[in-house]
Structure 1
């Protein structure tokens, strides 16, 4: 009985250490749960994606379609935020991605499949007796909508890669959500180099297979492309 109780406690702690992105902050106001974020498959379990070749990598959706999410208006150059419930507990890199709706589609109708994604933000660790990421421990994660993208409908994808168990292939844990946006006031064009998700990562990428504890790495490069610069 004691062993069983211990296992239950460990399972509970593991789930509590996981997180979900189900809200954004627009103009200083936090949206309701799943209002403009497509409901994810881990909305109850908080479980991560571990297979980077899986279709869940796109938006980790519970079901196909928009999942009833609304599309909210933002301005190019505006600062907005994603909210983690309860916080980004694990160490690892944070990135934000965007995908413009193809011609004839909207943020609510697009699937995010195929080469439509570009990275707009990537954080990097400080290296001093270990790797420390700026997102760790935070519940509000800020980003800026690039000024140099055209106006239109987009999916905004958050991705946090937890590396605490990433010493073997498949050990990295990815926490993902997609919000629906209409961007106004933009200029320029969508980057020519676009990525498919899944497809952008391989399970053996060094940024996904790493022991961050021993021997302590002296550097770290996140998987995938560099972020867009305006």
Structure 2
């Protein structure tokens, strides 16, 4: 049965894709690509699979021009923000995020500005939220499967300024070989107000945060080893603020 499920996942992998075009702020949803940099997969909905590709940062349609063509949302520390998904394959479900996988959100202080192509190009990213698979009774459970959106709270102690918010799902349905994991990415441009004096960290570079060989990226979710004790989230620990 596990082999049959894995085969079905592989067969559907070429068409079952999505994007994160809409920014959510305290329940209000933006228009497509209003505050999220339009991604290169805006039409195909296909994923990024190379963790070393410059496009792995925000998957922009144009690495030089997309940032300046995207608006900057004003948000407040403590706001609930996030992304709404869209899928050409399942538009009637409002873009359900239906691949099993791991969800997380990174942020970076944007220098010189959120709508500049240089933003986020250094070792400046920190993780602020994650939704990891759980493991019990010999099986992995994926809470992020078949959802339409995901949100998190901007830490109250985050300093004021312009930031990029990078939502990422690592889809693991065909991740048993190197390069099989699929990354679905969206970067929103924001200006944070009413913040605090926290020091976000640890800081990582994107690309550079992953090698692709992490046990949370290179994994057969349908046949975990006998000594498996639980999913290991890739990347740095979440900054709690």
TM-score w.r.t. length of structure 2: 0.85
What is the distance in 1 between the residues matched to 2:212 and 2:25? 34
Matches within 5 A, 1:104-119: 105-109=112-116, 110-119=118-127
For 2:55, what is the secondary structure of its paired residue?
helix
Q: 1:75 matched to which residue of 2? A: 76
Q: 1:84 matched to which residue of 2? A: 85
What is the distance in 2 between the residues matched to 1:24 and 1:12? 31
**1:171-203 per-position Cα deviation (integer Å, ceiling 9, x unaligned):** 000000100001001111342531100001002
Which residue of 143, 148, 168 maps to 2:177?
168
What is the distance in 2 between the residues matched to 1:196 and 1:163? 22
Query: What's the CA shift for 1:11?
Result: 10
What is the distance in 2 between the residues matched to 1:215 and 1:72? 42
For 1:93, what is the secondary structure of its paired residue?
strand
1:159 aligns to 2:160 (yes or no)? no
What is the distance in 1 between the residues matched to 2:114 and 2:166? 12
For 2:38, what is the secondary structure of its paired residue?
coil
For 2:83, what is the secondary structure of its paired residue?
strand
Q: Tell me, yes or no, if the aligned pair for 1:94 and 1:123 is still in contact at 8 Å.
A: yes
Which residue of 215, 226, 233 maps to 1:222?
233
Q: 1:201 matched to which residue of 2? A: 210
Q: Tell me, yes or no, if the aligned pair for 1:74 and 1:182 is still in contact at 8 Å.
A: yes
Q: Tell me, yes or no, if the aligned pair for 2:202 and 2:239 is still in contact at 8 Å.
A: no
Change (3 A) 1:126 1:54: same
What is the distance in 2 between the residues matched to 1:16 and 1:165? 13
- Which 5+ residue runs of structure 1 have no aligned equivalent? 1-9
What is the distance in 2 between the residues matched to 1:163 and 1:12? 14
> How large is the RMSD of aligned CA atoms in angstroms?
1.9
Q: Please list every run of at least 4 consecutive aligned residues from structure 1 whose deviation after the TM superposition is greater than 2 angstroms.
A: 10-16, 189-193, 215-218
Q: Tell me, yes or no, if the aligned pair for 1:15 and 1:46 is still in contact at 8 Å.
A: no
What is the distance in 2 between the residues matched to 1:192 and 1:44? 34
**1:70-110 per-position Cα deviation (integer Å, ceiling 9, x unaligned):** 001111011122101111111111000101123xx111114
- Which 5+ residue runs of structure 2 have no aligned equivalent? 1-8, 87-94
